[in-house]
Structure 1
Amino acid sequence: MGRSVSASEVERTLSAVAEQALHHGARAGLDALVEAAVRLTETHGAALYAGGRRVALAGLAPPAPARAHPLQLLKEGRTALVLDAPCVDATDRQHLTRLAVLGGALLACLEREDAARTERKRLRQERLRLMELLAHRERAWSRAAHDLRTPLLVLQGYIDMMAKGMAGVLTPSMQRYLERMGRAAGELNVRLQQRPTGEDAPAEDLRPLLSATFGPGRPGSARLELPAGPVCIRAPRTGLALLVRTLERLLSGAGASEVVLRVDAPDGVDAWRLLIQARAERPLPERALESLERLARRWEARFSVRDSPEVELTVLLPRLPG
Structure 2
Amino acid sequence: MERSLAAVAERSLRDGARAGIDALLKEALRLTGVAGIALHEGRVRIAEAGLRLPSLSRLRASQLIPIEEGRSSLGVIPERTSGEQRETLERFAGLAGSLLKAWRREASLQGRQASLCQQLRQLQRELSYRESNRSRASHDLRTPLLVIQGYLEMMRKGMTGELTPTMEKYVERMQGSTQMMGQLISRQLSRGGAPEDLRALALEAFEPMARARKLPLHFECSAKWAPVRGPRSVVTQLTRLLARDLGTSRVGVVRVHIEEQEKLGMWTLSVSTDRPRLLMARKLARLEQLLQRLGGALSIQDEAPFELRLHLPAATVNARPR
On whether the aligned pair clears a TM of 0.5, the verdict is yes
Q: Which amino acid aligns with 1:128?
A: R
Partner of 2:57, secondary structure, is coil
Paired with 1:52 and 1:79, the residues of 2 have a C-alpha distance of 8
Q: Is the 8 A contact 2:224 2:321 kept in 1?
A: no
Paired with 2:218 and 2:34, the residues of 1 have a C-alpha distance of 65
The alpha-carbon distance between structure 1 residues 44 and 94, as it changes in their structure 2 partners (threshold 3 A), is closer
Partner residue of 2:180 out of 166, 183, 187? 187
Partner of 2:260: none
Partner of 2:59, secondary structure, is coil
Partner of 2:110, secondary structure, is helix
Paired with 2:183 and 2:115, the residues of 1 have a C-alpha distance of 38
Partner of 2:152: 159
Of structures 1 and 2, the larger Rg is shown by 2
- Structure 1: gaps of 5 or more residues: 1-8, 204-231, 234-264, 273-294, 306-319
Is 1:20 matched up with 2:37? no
Is 1:168 matched up with 2:131? no
Partner of 1:51: 42
Taking structure 2 as the reference length, the TM-score comes to 0.56
Partner of 1:62: 53
RMSD: 3.5
Taking structure 1 as the reference length, the TM-score comes to 0.56
Q: Is the 8 A contact 2:39 2:45 kept in 1?
A: yes
Paired with 1:296 and 1:26, the residues of 2 have a C-alpha distance of 41
Paired with 2:154 and 2:19, the residues of 1 have a C-alpha distance of 79
Q: Percent identity?
A: 37
CA displacement at 1:86 relative to structure 2? 4.3
Paired with 1:300 and 1:170, the residues of 2 have a C-alpha distance of 51
Describe the superposition over 1:236-292 as per-residue Cα deviations: whole angstroms up to 9, x where unpaired.
Answer: xxxxxxxxxxxxxxxxxxxxxxxxxxxxx98257999xxxxxxxxxxxxxxxxxxxx
Partner residue of 1:104 out of 85, 92, 97? 97
Paired with 1:35 and 1:158, the residues of 2 have a C-alpha distance of 86
Partner of 1:148: 141
Partner of 1:136: 129
Describe the superposition over 1:95-126 as per-residue Cα deviations: whole angstroms up to 9, x where unpaired.
Answer: 42231122122122112212222222222221
Describe the superposition over 1:139-161 as per-residue Cα deviations: whole angstroms up to 9, x where unpaired.
Answer: 21222222222221121122233
Paired with 1:121 and 1:176, the residues of 2 have a C-alpha distance of 63
Q: Which moved more, 1:38-47 or 1:113-122?
A: 113-122
Q: Which amino acid aligns with 2:113?
A: R
Describe the superposition over 1:160-186 as per-residue Cα deviations: whole angstroms up to 9, x where unpaired.
Answer: 3334455433435x5554344223322
Q: Is the 8 A contact 2:34 2:77 kept in 1?
A: yes
Partner of 1:267: 219
Paired with 1:97 and 1:27, the residues of 2 have a C-alpha distance of 19
Q: Is the 8 A contact 2:38 2:49 kept in 1?
A: yes
Is 1:29 matched up with 2:20? yes
The alpha-carbon distance between structure 1 residues 105 and 180, as it changes in their structure 2 partners (threshold 3 A), is farther
Paired with 1:56 and 1:154, the residues of 2 have a C-alpha distance of 74
Partner of 1:199: 194
Q: Which amino acid aligns with 1:154?
A: V
Partner of 1:57, secondary structure, is strand
Partner of 2:252: none
Q: Is the 8 A contact 1:65 1:80 kept in 2?
A: no
Q: Is the 8 A contact 1:62 1:83 kept in 2?
A: yes
Q: Is the 8 A contact 1:27 1:110 kept in 2?
A: yes
Q: Is the 8 A contact 1:34 1:58 kept in 2?
A: yes
Task: Give runs of aligned pairs for residues 301-320 of structure 1, distance below 5 A.
Answer: 301-302=236-237
